[in-house]
Structure 1
Amino acid sequence: MEVLRLDSSHAEDYLKLRLEALKTNPEAFGASYEETASRENPLKHIAARLDQRENYTFGAYIGDSLSGMVVLIP
C-alpha cells in the first residue's frame, strides 16, 4: 500500500472512488451521488479541489487502484 497526498493528477481515480462511496454510504457525505454525478464537468471540479493547498486529501493505493481516501480540513 502507498499513501499519497492527492492532486489533480489523481482526479479520475478520486472521482471514481467517491462516486462508489456515495452510492454505498451516502450518510458519510454532505453531497449526494446525484449532485456529484450531475455536476457540470465533475472531473474538472474534483481536479481543482485536489489542487487546493488549504485542505489535505490523501489516498491509499493498492497497486494501481485507489482503495481509500481521507480529506483533512484544518
Structure 2
Amino acid sequence: MTDTGGAQIRRLELADAALYRDIRLEALQKNPEAFGSTFERESAQPLSWFEAVIDRADIFGAFLDGKLTGIAGFSAQEGSKQAHKGRLWAMYIRDTARGSGLGKLLVAAVLDHARGRVEMVQLTVVSENEAARRLYSAMGFVEYGYEKRALKQGGRYYDEILMVKFLDEGTAGPAQAMP
C-alpha cells in the first residue's frame, strides 16, 4: 500500500467488492461514453460477479479518508506472443477528487506493478477526454493510433486514441524504424 498526502493506493481485495461495485457503477453511469461496458449490464450483476473481476484482474484503488475515490485496472495479455504487453483499463476518479493528483498516483501504481511483468502498457482513451489524454501524456504514454467510431453510446459514436508506454526505454518504440 502506498500512502501519499493522505491518499492510499492499494490493490483491491475480495473484501472490497461492494466498494468496487459502487464506484464502477458510478463510472458507467456518469461517463458511459468512456467505457466498453454499460451501467445496465453491470448493475444487473450480483456482488459475486464483481468479486470475480477483482479475483482475476489487478485493480488498484485510491482511498481518501477511507473512501474509495478512484480505480484503475491492469491486465497482462495472454499467449506467448503477446505476454509482453499489458493494459491499463477502467480508470475512473470521482468528481470530488479530479484535479487532485489522484489520477497520477493510480497510473503510477499500475506502472510500478507492470514493471517486471510486461514490457509495455497500452490503453485507449476517448478522443474528447482532454483531461485524461493530458494525464496519460504526462505519465509518459504516447499516441500510436486512432480508432474511428470505437464506441457507440446513445446513437453517437466516440473515437478512441490508442496510447502506449514502453517500460524499458531501450525497447524499440513506434517512432523507430524496424529492420
Question: Cα offset for 1:30?
Answer: 1.3
Equivalent residue runs for 1:26-37 within 5 Å: 26-37=32-43
Q: Please list every run of 5 or more consecutive structure 1 residues that lacks an aligned counterpart in the other structure.
A: none
2:25 is matched with which residue: 19, 22, 25? 19
CA drift of 1:10 comes to 0.6
**One-letter amino acid of the counterpart of residue 57, structure 1:** I
Structure 2: how far apart are the matches of 1:33 and 1:50?
Answer: 18
- From the two aligned structures, give the one with the greater helix fraction: 1
* 2:51 paired residue number: 47
Residue type at the aligned position of 1:58: F
In proportion to residue count, which structure has more strand?
A: 2
Give the alignment partner of residue 56 of structure 1, picking from 55, 58, 77.
58
After superposing on structure 2, the runs of 4+ consecutive aligned residues of structure 1 that deviate more than 3 Å are: none
**Matched AA of 1:17:** I
Deviation at 1:49, TM superposition (A): 1.4
Q: Secondary structure at the match of 1:51?
A: helix
Instruction: Give the Cα–Cα distance (whole angstroms) in 2 for the partners of residues 16 and 66 of structure 1.
Output: 9
C-alpha displacement of 1:63: 1.4
Partner in structure 2 of residue 72 of structure 1? 74
| Unpaired stretches in structure 2, ≥5 consecutive residues | 1-6, 77-179
TM-superposed CA distance for 1:38, in Å, is: 1.4
User: How much has 1:22 moved relative to structure 2?
Assistant: 0.6
Find the aligned partners of 1:46 and 1:59 in 2 and give their Cα distance. Answer: 14
What is the alpha-carbon distance in structure 2 between the residues aligned to residue 33 and residue 20 of structure 1?
8
Which of structures 1 and 2 has the bigger CA Rg? 2
Identity of aligned residues (%): 34
SS at match of 1:49: helix
Q: C-alpha root-mean-square deviation of aligned residues, in Å?
A: 1.0
Question: C-alpha separation between the residues in 2 aligned to 1:28 and 1:8?
Answer: 25
TM-score normalised by length of structure 2: 0.38
How far has the Cα of 1:17 moved from its partner?
A: 0.4
